Amino acid sequence: MNTLERSKGFVIEPQAQVSVPVRGTEDRFPVHRIYCVGRNYAAHAVEMGHDPDKEPPFFFQKSPSNLVTDGQDFPYPQVTQDVHHEIELVVALSSGGRDIPVERALDCVYGYAVGLDMTRRDIQAELKKMSRPWDAAKSFEHSAPCSELVPATEIGHPSAGAIWLKINGETRQEGDLDQLIWKTPEVIAHLSSLFELRAGDLIMTGTPSGVGPVLRGDALHGFVAGVGDLHCTVA
């Protein structure tokens, strides 16, 4: 590309804005950050060897460029033999701020989606052992498949109902949104005490029990009642 074609004012070509489609429209939701909640269902905390009663919420991030949208495949990533699925309710924010009170937190929500927090579990186990950050386990290319967004003006704010993941038609994860330890408004309030939340932020709210490995060729089908379906193939 010659200097005339290059975007004015940038020394390299800037990245395109990452976005998620809005169901039933041509519109897209531009993504700012992706926050994730760790161990937010008691049964999953227990399966990972933790006591769910003693923990305040904790958070990590994925990069917006990790998103997989529009029915694209999840390519099996490098340097791992143990990639796990984590089906999650995704919250999309239309406004933000700091120190948002729980009672006003849902006013910040644009809508919801079904997401997968794909995790290189073998790498995560090593990082945990060494008390190192989780980025290499959580924030790798294509690690955040996400369905279309549905606006809260259409579906309200789901706080109960089934959440599950099937692989090749077989149920692997099964839970209910009412089992979330930290509910959506509490998650937003906690996060906003640590970070300045912004319009465009996505929050992956945690996964129910039953996490496990995926294999090349697997057809993943995630579902959250009232929100919809997510289909993704492991390539």
The minimum distance between CB 1 and Mn ion, in angstroms, equals 39
Q: Which of 232, 102, 112 is nearest to 163 (CA)?
A: 112
- Cα(164)–Cα(202) distance, integer angstroms: 20
Nearer to Mn ion, 192 or 207 (CB): 207
- Considering only 33, 117, 182, 221, the residue that binds Mn ion (CB under 5 A) is 117
Q: Which of 189, 194, 191 is nearest to 100 (CA)?
A: 189
User: Measured from the CB of residue 223, what is the shortest distance to Mn ion in angstroms?
Assistant: 16
Q: Assess contact for 83 and 76: CB atoms under 8 A.
A: yes
| Smallest gap from residue 115 Cβ to Mn ion (A) | 9
Contact present, 196 and 231 (Cβ < 8 Å): no
Of 207, 208, 224, 234, the one binding Mn ion by CB under 5 A: 207
Residues in a beta bridge with 103: none
The region of 7-15, 77-85, 114-122, 144-152 touching Mn ion under the rule CB under 5 A is 114-122
Site map (CB under 5 A) of Mn ion, residues 60-89, x = contact: --------------------------x---
- Max distance between CA atoms of the chain, in angstroms, equals 60
Contact segment (CB under 5 A) with Mn ion among 50-58, 74-82, 90-98, 206-214 equals 206-214
The one segment of 27-35, 113-121, 171-179, 227-235 that binds Mn ion by CB under 5 A: 113-121
Residue nearest to Mn ion (CB): 117
Binding mask 151-190 for Mn ion (x = CB under 5 A): ----------------------------------------
**Shortest spacing between CB 186 and Mn ion, in angstroms:** 17
CA dist 235 and 59 (Å) reads: 29
Please say which residue, 117 or 201, places its beta carbon nearer to Mn ion: 117
Least Å from the CB of residue 88 to Mn ion: 6
| 148 near Mn ion, judged by CB under 5 A | no
Nearest distance from residue 2's CB to Mn ion, in Å?
A: 44
Q: What is the DSSP annotation of 99-127?
A: S--GGGGGGGEEEEEEEE--EEHHHHHHH
Q: x-or-dash pattern for Mn ion, window 184-203, by CB under 5 A?
A: --------------------
The closest alpha carbon to 35, from 230, 183, 205, belongs to: 205
Query: Cβ(172)–Cβ(163) under 8 Å?
Result: no
Spatial contact of 216 and 232, defined as CB atoms under 8 Å apart: no
Query: Closest Cα to residue 188, out of 88, 114, 113, 104?
Result: 104
Q: What span, in angstroms and rounded, lies between the C-alpha atoms of 89 and 113?
A: 6
Binding site residues, Mn ion, CB under 5 A: 86, 117, 207
